[in-house]
Homo-oligomer: A and B are copies of this chain.
Amino acid sequence: MDMAKLSREELKRELSILSKEYEEFRSRGLKLDMSRGKPCTEQLELSVDMLAYPYRDKNYKTASCADVRNYGMTDGLPEAKELFSKLLEVSTSEIILGNNSSLSMMYDAISRAMTFGVYGSPEPWSRLPKVKFLCPSPGYDRHFAITELFNIEMITIEMKEDGPDMDTIEKLAAEDDSIKGIWCIPKYSNPTGVTYSDEVVDRLAAMRTAASDFRIFWDNAYIVHHLTDKPDKLKNILEACKKAGNPDRVFIFASTSKITFPGSGVAMMASSESNINQIKKLLGIRSIGPDKINQLRHVMFFSDPDSIEQHMKKHAAILKPKFEMVLSILDSRLGDRNIAKWSRPNGGYFISLDTLPGCASAVVKMAGEAGVVLTPAGATFPYGKDPQDCNIRIAPTLPPLEELKLAMELLCTCIQIVSARKLLGT
Contact check, A36 vs B71: say whether CB atoms are below 8 A apart. yes
Distance in Å from the Cβ of A273 to the closest Cβ of chain B? 22
Q: Determine if A387 is an interface residue (Cβ-Cβ < 8 Å).
A: no
Determine the chain B residues whose CB is within 8 A of the CB of A282 once the complex forms. 149
Q: Determine if A104 is an interface residue (Cβ-Cβ < 8 Å).
A: yes
Contact check, A288 vs B99: say whether CB atoms are below 8 A apart. no
Tallying the copies of this chain within the complex gives 2
How many residues on the A side are at the interface (Cβ–Cβ under 8 A)?
Answer: 52
Q: Determine if A18 is an interface residue (Cβ-Cβ < 8 Å).
A: no
Q: Looking at the complex, which of A37-45, A85-93, A307-315 is the stretch in contact with chain B? A: A37-45
Contact check, A285 vs B36: say whether CB atoms are below 8 A apart. no
Q: Determine if A305 is an interface residue (Cβ-Cβ < 8 Å).
A: no
Contact check, A291 vs B262: say whether CB atoms are below 8 A apart. no
Contact check, B291 vs A107: say whether CB atoms are below 8 A apart. no
Enumerate A83-106 residues with CB–CB distance to B below 8 Å.
99-101, 103-104
Residue on B with the closest CB to A126?
A: B126
Complex formed: what's the CA distance from A142 to B74 in Å?
14
Residue on B with the closest CB to A55?
A: B51
Contact check, A51 vs B54: say whether CB atoms are below 8 A apart. yes
Q: Can you add 15 more A-B contacts, CB < 8 Å, to A52-B55, A103-B288, A104-B287?
A: A48-B55, A48-B60, A49-B55, A55-B55, A69-B263, A69-B264, A73-B263, A99-B100, A100-B289, A107-B286, A115-B115, A142-B285, A149-B285, A264-B292, A291-B291
Interfacial residues, chain A to chain B (CB-CB below 8 A): 36, 38-39, 41, 44, 48-49, 51-52, 54-55, 58, 60, 67-73, 99-101, 103-104, 107-108, 111, 114-115, 126, 142, 145-146, 149-150, 257, 261-264, 282, 285-294
6 contacts between A and B (CB under 8 A): A51-B55, A100-B290, A100-B291, A107-B287, A114-B115, A291-B291
